Amino acid sequence: MSENVLDFREFEIPRQYGFGTKLFFLYFLNVADWFCTQVLIDSGYFHEANPLMAWIMQYPIVGFFVKCILPLALSILIWLFFKAFNLEQNKLTNFLIYGGVVIYSVVILIHVVNFIMLYTV
């Protein structure tokens, strides 16, 4: 009879990632984009498609600040704001974060293709 008893742990809800974890992952993809872009630009075979970022990326310290330090500070401020006011994740915040993850994932995929083209030719 004990074999017929259901174990409700088998039906646990999949773990939801916290807001801070999602922000960190988005930030990580941003830094990966900056790093890959910088390496491809330094190869001499590629250039930045965005004219404003092309100007910024000419100056490595400014590019690092704009693509790494500033987004980190903004991510921390957003996370602290959510914690201070006990705000919950909602559909809009998840849509924005997941939208950013999708966009950055496509950009990283383009970088991977560019790396393959760079190192196989």
Q: Tokens standing for 27?
A: 């930030």
Look up the domain containing 112 and give its range.
17-120
The number of folded domains in the chain is 1
pLDDT of res. 62? 94
Is residue 10 one of the residues assigned to a domain? Answer: no
**pLDDT of amino acid 88:** 84
102 domain-assigned: yes
3-state class (DSSP) for residue 30: helix
What are 1-35's pLDDT values in tens digits?
A: 556 665 666 666 666 788 999 999 999 999 999 99
Q: Is the pLDDT of residue 75 over 90?
A: yes
- Mean pLDDT over residues 66-72, rounded? 96
pTM of the model: 0.82
Residue 23 included in any domain: yes
What's the mean pLDDT when you consider all of the chain?
Answer: 89
What's the average model confidence in pLDDT over 80-105? 92
